Structure 1
Amino acid sequence: MAPLHTEPPFDPETLAFLSRPGLNRLWESARTRLERSGLRPTGTLRLQHLDPQEREALSLLLAKPVTGPSATIRLPDLDTRLRASAVGRGLAATLTALGPPLTDRRAARDATTAERDRLWSEAEAALAATPLADQPWAHQWLTDIRRSGTLTRRPSTSITQAIQTLVTLFPGTGPAPAPAPAPTPVTWGRGELATRTTGSAHGLDDGTLLARLVLRGIALAQDVDFPTDAPARRALWRRASVTPDEVSSTVLTYGLRPTGTTWREAALRERADHHLETHLTLRELRTLHLELPSRPRVHVCENPRVVEAAADAGCTVPLICTSGSATTVVLTLLDTLAATDCAFAYHGDFDWPGIILANRVMGRYGAEPWRMTAPDYEYLAARTELRGMPPLPLVGTPVEATWDAELAPTMEALGVALHEEAALDLLLEDLA
């Protein structure tokens, strides 16, 4: 809708009359109604629970007595009244002059819908111009994205880049004129693929909208479920011959002596024999044979200091560190060991984030609590106090420990947070 013509400002007397507090509710209600109705003065307003000040102001404005606790006002009549009075302009112009400017919300909504429809039409045309046009899964992908409401604003760039990425991954999906040997699939690094299709090496990073769109397309093309966690997302990338970054994140390990016969397992055994910690990448985990002899109980800690102390003390028990959070590479290692029937024992920080992490690890792997019960906490808290160490306040939202119903109430009662270092000597005794 075209903007209203600029009206001259009200003279001081008219402005004072229209700005009196008794008319505030009227103007607010009228503004809301006009913005919803295309700036046209239609329908009625009903103001209830009028106070004396409002009744007086409305009586003067409408040129008729308002005496009851409520008033019904027809907006066409109000518009006519304003034009015929000293105000000299209609309701929309009056509200604009009183400020702020009116917004035609209906027109804005219609314009947004029309623009979105246009952009989706462009996306459909872009898909139709690619080899994916003959693939039912590609059209289903585009339909699912639109229905899901994933893209609520200007989908053009994201959809275009997603289509280009899928075409790059599935270049030969159109109908072949004659049978031919299947081409050797091209393997892409995810950063390389992102640079090719978006101009940025991080365009397909985990968690980005574009990555989710492309993975949804890959899942449909491969007829598999959409991944719900990071390991599954990495596996789906690999199904499409895309190699995620598998070297930048590592898991800290100590004392792993796998039975495999390649140089990789031999290197781990040698490092364990020399009491050296090892950082393993996702790439290494995919090639290692990690079955351990006699399927021992593997201890899992939260803080790297525990691994360092275990190495200094020459401990021999296998130990894995989450380094504060169970990232994809940590879970991948634990999943691999769990598949070989290893049992786990877990220790972490006695604070609420520590309990959250412990719940996750214990719940996923059925790990035993490793000096992580209410009596363990009480003992450590008392020992810390006796040693004269400054207490660390326990802050945040309490979290129930799934393995010990008494732990969270005990922590709340004492109000002290304890990091793993407080139990370091006891943990080393268990690892010796």
Structure 2
Amino acid sequence: MTNRDAPRESRDAETLAFLTRPGLTRLWTAVRTRLERNGLQPTGTVRLQDLDAEEREALSLLLARPLTAATATIRLPDLDTRLRTSALAQGLTATLDELGPPLTDRRAARDAASAQRAGLWSAAAAALAATSLSPQPWAARWLQETRRAGTVARQDPQTATTLLTQAIRTLATLFPGTDADPTPVVWGRGELATRTTGSAHGLDDGTLLARLVLRGIALATGADFPADAPGRRALWRLASVTPDEVSSTVLTYGLRPTGGTWGEQVLCRRAEHHLETHLTLRELRGLHLKMPAHTHIHVCENPRVVEAAADAGCSAPLICTSGNATTVVLTLLDALAATGCVFGYHGDFDWPGIALANRVMDRYGAEPWRMRAQDYEYLATRTQVHGTPQLLLSGPRIEATWDQELAPTMDALGIALHEEAALDLLLEDLS
């Protein structure tokens, strides 16, 4: 260690150079870990194994005693005393702070976080008690289950507080009791979200707040918590909340249901005039589609296929997923499958397209519609002959569940083919 009679600036520079030498790196790492666990108190020991010659020399100079073995046990109180009586003239904690980065009192941090969590839930309990939810037995259970789940507590404190406040406010709005101000019999979800969160998107599907509120609704109504989007919409309706069922649509063409309702008649008339039809979830809930048994319905991925089919005056029924099949698409396909319809599916020859095709074919037992390895090879060859610019495949390979040869063939050629590359062939099938 440094001579105490040297000027302070010289002592500081020399001491810092000594303390930061590579031979002491493992010591300071171990000591830092122990101090942060000990509430920054220099107690206990650290044990270093497999010491090399450089480390033994540095430790011997630091501790003022020879170390010759490959293992050393260092008592933190002794190291603290040694530093205080050295030219550095400061304790172990101050030394580690100076060497950097600053020490963290992890014990104090844990205690503070624990106190903060306790405050979060006590504040939530008080907020709940001040609402119309207080006398309702399910409300206390909801708060307990929310706390046990741990999801809210893992958020930052401000977010966690906001989530609980908004969830309680929303549930109190939905279950106001007898003394509350009059509220609408039926809420739009966006309207309810605006009232209780300030944002029309505050209760959008998939948000943590929406899940918290839905768990409360499930407990209040005795319903099971849903596992899918249709189930979540049904649960909202139990609390007189109407989800957004008009902004998302499914693109259809050529559907000719046999029922006599005006909605089915409209579909038939539009099919007769070769017009595409966009159907919303709201419309699908009101439609009771009846189709001839075993009606074969083509399903495509890209809207351009529907547009071309309409322009060509094709007669076969066609449904478009418009990319990844959304809830409204699956709702229509489910309804048609329930009437005995069968499906043929075509999509893009790229890995996301194969993933989507797997979903549709597995869910509905759909047949591949020009989606086999030989179809891909033919289209790839044709684009090369025509000099069409090539789009390379990208992303992880996905096996096609309906054709074991398709993914290896695509991998070998390395070309992505969008559905439009097969448009003329698809139109032949739809005519």
Same fold (TM over 0.5): yes
Aligned match of 1:335 = 334
Q: How far off its partner does 1:87 sit?
A: 1.7
Aligned match of 1:35 = 36
Please give the secondary structure, in 1, of the residue aligned with 2:134.
Answer: helix
Aligned match of 2:24 = 23
> Given the alignment, which residue of 173, 176, 186 partners 1:171?
176
**Cα separation, 1, equivalents of 2:385 and 2:105:** 70
Q: How far off its partner does 1:33 sit?
A: 0.9
Aligned match of 2:3 = none
Residue 421 (structure 1) aligned with residue 426 (structure 2): no
Please give the secondary structure, in 2, of the residue aligned with 1:50.
Answer: coil
Q: How far off its partner does 1:190 sit?
A: 0.6
Please give the secondary structure, in 1, of the residue aligned with 2:315.
Answer: coil
Q: Which amino acid aligns with 2:381?
A: A
**Cα separation, 1, equivalents of 2:252 and 2:37:** 63
Query: Which structure 2 residue ranges, 5 or more long, are not aligned?
Result: 1-7
**Cα separation, 2, equivalents of 1:18 and 1:184:** 70
Aligned match of 2:55 = 54
Contact kept, 8 Å, 2:300 with 2:345, in 1: the verdict is yes
**What is the CA deviation profile of residues 225-277 of structure 1, one whole-angstrom value per residue up to 9, with x for unaligned ones?**
21222222112111211111111111111001122323322221111111011
Contact kept, 8 Å, 1:259 with 1:289, in 2: the verdict is no
Aligned match of 1:360 = 359
Aligned match of 2:12 = 11
Q: 1:317 to 1:48 in 2, by over 3 A?
A: same
Q: Which amino acid aligns with 2:305?
A: V
Q: Which amino acid aligns with 1:164?
A: R
Please give the secondary structure, in 1, of the residue aligned with 2:286.
Answer: coil
Contact kept, 8 Å, 2:47 with 2:71, in 1: the verdict is yes
Aligned match of 2:391 = 392
Please give the secondary structure, in 2, of the residue aligned with 1:126.
Answer: helix
Q: Which amino acid aligns with 2:377?
A: E
Q: Which amino acid aligns with 2:174?
A: L
Please give the secondary structure, in 1, of the residue aligned with 2:73.
Answer: strand
* TM-score after normalising by structure 1: 0.93
**Cα separation, 1, equivalents of 2:38 and 2:242:** 54
Please give the secondary structure, in 1, of the residue aligned with 2:89.
Answer: coil
Please give the secondary structure, in 2, of the residue aligned with 1:134.
Answer: coil
Please give the secondary structure, in 2, of the residue aligned with 1:402.
Answer: coil
Contact kept, 8 Å, 1:348 with 1:358, in 2: the verdict is yes
- Comparing 105-114 with 218-227, which one deviates more in the overlay? 218-227
Alignment of 1:9-408 (within 5 A): 11-151=12-152, 152-153=154-155, 154=157, 155-172=160-177, 186-408=185-407
Contact kept, 8 Å, 2:12 with 2:88, in 1: the verdict is no
Aligned match of 2:5 = none
**What is the CA deviation profile of residues 342-382 of structure 1, one whole-angstrom value per residue up to 9, with x for unaligned ones?**
11111111110001000111111111111111122122222
Q: 1:173 to 1:66 in 2, by over 3 A?
A: farther
Contact kept, 8 Å, 1:132 with 1:173, in 2: the verdict is no
Q: Which amino acid aligns with 1:74?
A: R
Please give the secondary structure, in 1, of the residue aligned with 2:74.
Answer: strand
Q: How far off its partner does 1:149 sit?
A: 1.0
Contact kept, 8 Å, 2:293 with 2:339, in 1: the verdict is no
**Cα separation, 2, equivalents of 1:173 and 1:127:** 16
Contact kept, 8 Å, 2:254 with 2:315, in 1: the verdict is yes
**Cα separation, 1, equivalents of 2:222 and 2:375:** 50
Q: Which amino acid aligns with 2:24?
A: L
Q: Which amino acid aligns with 1:78?
A: L
**Cα separation, 1, equivalents of 2:320 and 2:96:** 65
Contact kept, 8 Å, 1:135 with 1:173, in 2: the verdict is no
Q: How far off its partner does 1:130 sit?
A: 2.3
Contact kept, 8 Å, 2:45 with 2:76, in 1: the verdict is yes
**Cα separation, 1, equivalents of 2:372 and 2:42:** 69
Q: 1:339 to 1:80 in 2, by over 3 A?
A: same
Q: Which amino acid aligns with 1:108?
A: A
**Cα separation, 1, equivalents of 2:185 and 2:37:** 55
**Cα separation, 2, equivalents of 1:306 and 1:134:** 58
Please give the secondary structure, in 1, of the residue aligned with 2:234.
Answer: helix
Aligned match of 1:179 = none
Contact kept, 8 Å, 2:293 with 2:340, in 1: the verdict is no
Please give the secondary structure, in 2, of the residue aligned with 1:38.
Answer: coil
Please give the secondary structure, in 2, of the residue aligned with 1:172.
Answer: coil
**What is the CA deviation profile of residues 44-69 of structure 1, one whole-angstrom value per residue up to 9, with x for unaligned ones?**
11112222221111111100001122
Q: How far off its partner does 1:158 sit?
A: 0.7
Identical positions, percent: 76
Contact kept, 8 Å, 2:23 with 2:58, in 1: the verdict is yes
**Cα separation, 2, equivalents of 1:221 and 1:335:** 30
Please give the secondary structure, in 2, of the residue aligned with 1:39.
Answer: coil
Q: Which amino acid aligns with 1:160?
A: T
Q: Which amino acid aligns with 2:255?
A: L
**Cα separation, 2, equivalents of 1:45 and 1:131:** 57
Please give the secondary structure, in 1, of the residue aligned with 2:251.
Answer: strand
- Comparing 79-88 with 109-118, which one deviates more in the overlay? 79-88
Q: How far off its partner does 1:184 sit?
A: 10
**Cα separation, 2, equivalents of 1:130 and 1:350:** 56
Q: How far off its partner does 1:413 sit?
A: 1.5
**Cα separation, 1, equivalents of 2:37 and 2:225:** 40
Q: How far off its partner does 1:185 sit?
A: 7.2
Please give the secondary structure, in 2, of the residue aligned with 1:345.
Answer: strand
The count of residues paired between Structure 1 and Structure 2 equals 418
Aligned match of 1:5 = none
